[in-house]
Structure 1
Amino acid sequence: MSDFSIDSFSLRGRVVVITGGASGLGQFYTQAVSKVGADVVVVSSTHHGWDETREAVESHGGKVLFIQRDITEASAAEAIVRQTLDEFGHIDVLINNAGMQRRHELVDFPDEDWNKVIDLNLNALYHLSHEAAKVMIEQGHGKIVNIGSMQSYRAGKFIFPYTASKHGVIGLTKAYADALAPHNIQVNALAPGYINTPMTKALQEDPVRSVEIHDHIPAGHWGEPSELMGAMVFLCSAASDYVTGVTLPVDGGYLLR
């Protein structure tokens, strides 16, 4: 039996594909894996955040490939995998991070918003995982990290498709983990709690909900994006080789109450 080494957390020589990796929490995930040596393929629907992300990755000595693509398009998954292989020759980790949310009252919820959220948060995740898994099976190793949410566990009475999609993420994580474990491929999910980001600014400024959320977190504060980075590195690295089918909440204990 080999001894444990801190090198188990290294991603040097590994290629990580991340959707939505140039903005929001995705940019922090990109920085996290690049800090421990990974080369990164960032898939975005726009060029937003590319320069800043490139600078961060290259400052850590890594290479970065940007692919502008709407991952809900029928041919997107195959194209992303093909471009990654053309550039790097292998795919070691896929982080399915891209997502969106739409909020409406029940009786007013438009079908169009339901379809958009499910297409991005669940269908695109499935198709890209499917294509990446083919490569990983051939390689004999790989990791897929899906991004869940507190709504993977809770209701969310105004965000129906988001809640459905994030529950689905846990289900797909388990199903893929079971199917791919014999091929030395681990599939897990990371479920961020309430994190201090521009996206949650309105919620933090809500005089009622902000207090309710804060008082519900045993750690006593909203999370900072940097507090997700260690968990992401763990799930992407050899340190988690015997961990699969797990959804890891990083929530300051929010789900305990």
Structure 2
Amino acid sequence: MNPIVLWFHKLGSPPYFDAFAKRWAPWCHLLGFVLMAVGVYQGLFVVPADYQQSDSARILYIHVPAAWMSIGVYLGMAIYAAIAQIWRIKLCEVLAMACAPIGAGYTIVTLVTGSIWGKPMWGTWWSWDPRLTTELILLFMYFGVMGLYAAIEDRRQAARTAGFLAMVGVVLLPIIRYSVNWWDSLHQGQTVSVFGQSKLDDSMAAPLWWVVIGIHIWFGGSLLLRARADNLERESGKSWVAKSAGGAE
């Protein structure tokens, strides 16, 4: 068997995943924090102020990565849920449900920083702008997945039911992404592009990419920690769980 395929197969084992998450989550958090700190420092204190929005534009170093993660985490949650629905892989159920509270956190940060940014730009903290409104609906979708998962006692049935809701919610993602193109919007158009031409000056873009890379690595650590906790709860009573808990102490 291919070594990579074998590794993925072993990762589906609850004891193996527990050891993997326990080992790598702290390193993900450490590396992610360092990269985000570098990017935020440069964005706040090194790069010049925007020629139109002045220093208020510096909030983009938090707002933009959080906004990308709010959508990306939801997509990841839906993919895990789809794999769990089709192949009944328990670890994918765990990972899908672990995504929900993390993604909700990123969405809250997106909405809060967007409101702070919007006040000096638009003269109001909130507007029922298409981008803002669809982002708020995304937050409610995260809450719906979390609430449904918590409401059903059987963990596997709860994950499958909540996962189905997550899959249905995927239709919202392209609406959020292209809302500024499809409707008249206060929200500015796309400034930063991963593959195309960005409107952001190179000196301002570099710190942003540090934050983007860091926040993805940080997310990996958070996902491992939350999935590990859920995995231990599901497997409670088994001998390896007691050994893992003893090792943690």
- TM-score, scaled to structure 1: 0.26
Greater share of strand: 1
Which protein has greater RCO, CA pairs closer than 8 Å, 6+ apart? 2
- TM-score, scaled to structure 2: 0.27
